[in-house]
Amino acid sequence: QAQLVESGGGSVQVGGSLRLSCAVSLSRWSYNNNCVAWFRQAQGKEREAVAAIYTGRDKIGDGTYYIDSVKGRFTISLDNAKNTVYLQMNTLKPDDTATYYCAAVGGGPPYCRGGRNDYAYWGPGTEVTVSS
Of all residues in the chain, the percent with pLDDT exceeding 90 is: 73
Average pLDDT score over residue span 68-73:
97
Return the pLDDT at 80: 83
The mean pLDDT of 26-43, rounded to a whole number, is 81
* CA distances, 77 to each of 9, 13, 82 (Å): 17, 24, 12
For the stretch 88-100, pLDDT in tens is 999 999 999 999 9
Report the SS3 class of residue 118. helix
Q: Give dist(CA 32, CA 30) in Å, integer.
A: 6
